[in-house]
Chains A and B, each alone.
Chain A
Amino acid sequence: MIRLRGVKKCFRDGAREVPVLRGVDLDVAPGELVAIVGPSGSGKSTLLHVAGALDRDFEGEAVVAGTSLAGLGEAARAELRNRAIGFVFQAFNLLPTLSALENVMLPGVLRRAGPGGGIGEVRARARDALQRVGLGDRGGAPPARLSGGERQRVALARALLSRPAVLLADEPTGNLDASSGADVIRLFVELARDGVSVLVVTHEERVSDAATRVLHLLDGRLA
């Protein structure tokens, strides 16, 4: 689950402080697919980074997957991202020098080795994750040889490797054609049905149409 209370965030522009989030309250329960829409520059991505424990410089209260982000150190935030949060980006952000399978393995490789945490086990789980997004036979391909839709599904498989409680997606269908976008949206709906809290930032109606709730971010506030 995600719980934000009174979240404020400013960016510094020279000597001037520019407020981006002006007291955001948000709850995303397990099994919910919440879409946040809003114009460019409205702070949608910033909100996602706060909820994803990537941005620590904000005011307010944030609890993600049962963990309060207040006062959390770098290592603990990294551990939380690795264990409980999955990210999907508009630009896919796959590492171009790794194969699709190796990209999916990354969260597992970054986790301190424990029971079932060896490279071999991580590879097996990555194959399962690729299978789940329908790319079981494309694991050896580098991202450059995949279509946009396939790349986004690889990114989704990577986000799912650690079985996260929270999935955060930033314009996930922005670079996809209608068919590929529909595939990705269908996967989001399935994940929400499985109990994952899915928060999607988008300006596309096809995503908001699939969401259980749609919130508008305007002037740094949710409505």
Chain B
Amino acid sequence: MAGARGILWLAGAALRADRRGAAVNAAAACVGAAALVLFLALGLGVGAAARRLFPADARLVEVVPARVSLGGVLGGGRLDDDAVGRLRALPGAAAAWPRLPLGVPVSASEPAGGLGGRWPSGLALQLPIVGVDPALVEEDVAPGAFADPPPGAPIPTVLARRLVEVYDRTLAPAWNLRRLPPGVSLVGVELPVRVGHSVVAGASEARVEPERLRLAGLSDRVPLYAVAVPLETVRRLHREYGKGDAAYGQVTVLAARPEDVPALAAAARRMGFAVDEGERATAERVALIVKVTTGALVLLAVAMCALAALAIAQALSASVRGRVRELAVLQALGAAPADVRRIVLAEGAAIGLAGGLAGALVARGLAALGDAAAARLLADLPFRPESFFLFPPWLLALGVAVPALAAIAGALGPAAAAARVDPARTLS
């Protein structure tokens, strides 16, 4: 049996002898590989963008009061501390965090300190505020930074990470304000507000107090269009403004495992509550659409690789038929039938590898062109990704391996035919 180096030397010599044929076959493999890598990269890129747009946590169940409830008859209806305790005690529940909307109006009439820009004269914004359990956002803020503050201290707040994106791509350009830097550099920014003041005429409280909201962090677990403050702050403000003991607007239940979510949702419904699946359902629908579309495109690419394999099989079959005497000579000089088979398989593998490498590069180039075109043609909307394509290393490896394996599969038949060449008969 010949060594691997000898086999490769002979396969290389055969490919050099028919450079044009090898190039055509490699081009076919290149097209399949490029399509495979490009479509998968697009699916991964769009999927990542969709996850940024809908950062649904697979373990969270949002429980809300039912629109129609039999109240205490079946133990449901009002989301109070007792209900939170019962939700927390459900099998498969790791935690339950209530949310309490602030019943006191809060408005802002000047920009946050340090951000500058031209705040429209006379503009006052009504801020929707919701109180959340500090444990809900403990992974997104510094320890102890999200608690009801002492008198005179700014109220810590957490904003939805997506809100920054919306601000940067819509409010900032429209109002000629400075764009916000991403990440933790925003933490510490303070916004002067008036607690008790409403932009709606006659809706303000009798007592209006100046306060400051201080950004403690950004999180995907707080509502998109509300400012989250500590639950205890909302309770305190309710007491100070005589708003009474309102029920929670929503309870976020954390499942121990994603598989526990359906059972938890069913249990919450049995308790007389509803489950808000709006964003989760949208996220799942988008993810499904991305997966199905990517899957269809990948199937198309795999079909192209299969066609490339067929082309390589046809070309190698013709090559073997034309080289019968050469293959017999190689056997006379010491090649075993297995060696002849390996030579032809190596030719196929080399064609597939070359095509795969070229295809991966072509896919990168096409993706760069696509991103450049998108940057020029698409509006600068929120959540528009910098790139619609993701190229993890495994994808490039897959893009090389699939056409190589397809080419080897295509070479199996011709290789077997080559190994069947009878040197005695051929050289007679």
Contact = CB atoms under 8 A, between A and B. Distances in A.
Interface range, A side: 20 to 34
Interface string A100-111: 001000110111
B23 interface: no
Interface in B334-371: 334-339
B94 to A, nearest CB: 61
Given A46-B428, A49-B428, A110 B17 contact: no
A202 interface: no
A54 B329 CA distance: 10
A83 B333 CA distance: 9
A75 B332 contact: no
A144 interface: no
B337 A74 contact: yes
Chain B contact surface mostly: helix
Interface in B189-209: none
A125 interface: no
B5 interface: yes
A81 B428 contact: no
A52 B424 CA distance: 9
B1 interface: yes
B339 A45 contact: no
Interface in B286-339: 325-326, 329-339
Contacts of B332: 52, 54, 81, 87, 93
Contacts of B331: 54, 78, 81
B13 interface: yes
A54 B423 contact: yes
Interface string B417-428: 000000110011
29 contacts: A45-B428, A75-B1, A77-B336, A78-B337, A78-B339, A79-B336, A81-B332, A81-B333, A82-B334, A83-B334, A87-B332, A87-B333, A93-B325, A93-B329, A93-B332, A93-B427, A97-B17, A106-B330, A107-B334, A109-B6, A109-B10, A110-B6, A110-B334, A111-B3, A113-B3, A113-B5, A113-B6, A119-B5, A119-B6
Name the 8 nearest CB pairs between A and B, nearest first: A82-B334, A97-B17, A78-B336, A113-B3, A55-B424, A49-B424, A109-B6, A54-B424
Given A79-B1, A110-B2, A119-B6, 10 more contacts: A49-B424, A49-B428, A55-B424, A78-B335, A81-B333, A83-B334, A87-B333, A89-B427, A110-B334, A113-B5
Interface of A: 45-46, 49, 52, 54-55, 74-75, 77-79, 81-83, 87, 89, 93, 95, 97-98, 102, 106-107, 109-113, 117-119, 158, 162
